[in-house]
Amino acid sequence: MSARPFRFACQAYRSTSARHWRELARRVEALGYASLQVPDHYIGPGPALDSTGHSVQVLAAVPAIAMAAAVTSTLEVGARVLCTGYHHPVVLAKEAATLQLLSEGRFQLGLGAGWLAAEYDAMGVPFPSAAERIDRLEETLELVRQSFAGGPVDVRGEHVHATGFTAVPAIERPPPIMVGGGAPRVLRLAGARADIVSVNFNNASGVLGPDSVASSTAEQTRRKLDWVRSGAGERFGGLTLEIAAYFVAVDSGKGPGAEALTARTGLDAERLREFPHALVGSVDAICEELERRRAEYGFSYVTVGEAVLDDFAPVVARLSGR
């Protein structure tokens, strides 16, 4: 089977004005990235977020996605990923169908079980066990599948109840569904139900830090893909596998250098170059490493942050052919 073509996404959350967000979306499109993704976090600076190591996301995901679609013509837009614990499932399904309709088929629905306990607490949202959060994710996946199919909706789960109506708006083509995570059950679920599987850190601790890095070594990444494969069965070959490069240093770029990333991750130079969530070196070296990882792991969909949007653009141009 031939390798899947590369696709590249930019994940962005720093914009503080309409003008900046519009310009960013247009620039992502002009540089040849396939998609613009936003996370799904709500609280601003303060003790709650300080304790997690997570950055502030200024704009809410759904309206930001809508504006990005409105000011571009070919760029795919979506969330990496919407937390099912923050959204009423019927409202979420209707918003997703609306975004797919208004973007004329350029929306990608990313869903996750949620993990940032301090944010749940700060928002006054109950933070159930991991098992309950994944149960809710699974039931939400069933609801959105039924909603996109255009027939009557009938979901009577423990966490999601929707019955007695047909979902609107009707859409000609359902958006692809991405499910992300780093633990066994959620990755098996992603393999079984998603179109795109986002292989991520295992953030069971609720904090971004050394444990996140330790959960995502080459060996751990291979284990995660085994979980995806066990959930997918025969459909594994049809899945798109996505991974984020959270640590990027392109030689001669304006972003952080390899030494700065070594300090942030605690990985020495050799291990940093092999770390699945890092890309370090010249454009040639990064392209070669991405091709190696596609052959070894199957990753063809790669997401980078807006801070390295321009530095990484030559890699996008080289490998995506856009």
- Average pLDDT over the chain, rounded to an integer: 94
Name the 3-class secondary structure at 4. Answer: coil
Strand partners, 301: 7, 242
Q: Greater confidence, 209 or 96?
A: 96
Confidence bin at 257 (pLDDT 50/70/90) = confident
Q: Greater confidence, 206 or 224?
A: 224
Q: Are 275 and 246 in contact (CB under 8 A)?
A: no
Name the 3-class secondary structure at 123. Answer: helix
Q: Are 17 and 63 in contact (CB under 8 A)?
A: no
Q: Which two tokens stand for residue 174?
A: 């359902």
Name the 3-class secondary structure at 112. Answer: strand
- Predicted local confidence at residue 273, as pLDDT: 87
Kind of pairing between the strands at 196-199 and 177-181: parallel
pLDDT higher than threshold 80 for residue 322: no
Q: Which two tokens stand for residue 267?
A: 């990985």
Span 18-57, pLDDT tens digits: 999 999 999 999 999 999 999 999 999 999 999 888 999 9
**Would you list the domain boundaries of the chain?**
7-320
pLDDT higher than threshold 80 for residue 253: no
Among residues 101, 196, 85, the alpha carbon closest in space to that of 147 is found at: 101
Name the 3-class secondary structure at 174. Answer: coil
Kind of pairing between the strands at 161-166 and 177-181: unpaired
DSSP sequence for 8-74 = EEEE-----SHHHHHHHHHHHHHTT-SEEEE------SSHHHHTTTPPPP-S-HHHHHHHHHHT-SS
Q: Which two tokens stand for residue 67?
A: 């504006």
Confidence bin at 255 (pLDDT 50/70/90) = low
Task: Among 65-69, 257-261, 269-273, 318-322, name the most confident range.
Answer: 65-69
- Predicted local confidence at residue 2, as pLDDT: 64
Q: Amino acid identity of 171? A: I
φ and ψ at 45, to 5 degrees? Answer: -60, 150
- Predicted local confidence at residue 256, as pLDDT: 72
The CATH number assigned to the domain with range 7-320 reads: 3.20.20.30
Helical residues (DSSP H) of 71-217, grouped into ranges:
89-102, 117-123, 130-149, 184-193, 210-214
How far does CA 198 lie from the centroid of its chain? Answer: 6
pLDDT higher than threshold 60 for residue 291: yes
143-to-133, 158, 216, 240 alpha-carbon distances in Å: 15, 13, 31, 22
Q: Are 158 and 135 in contact (CB under 8 A)?
A: yes
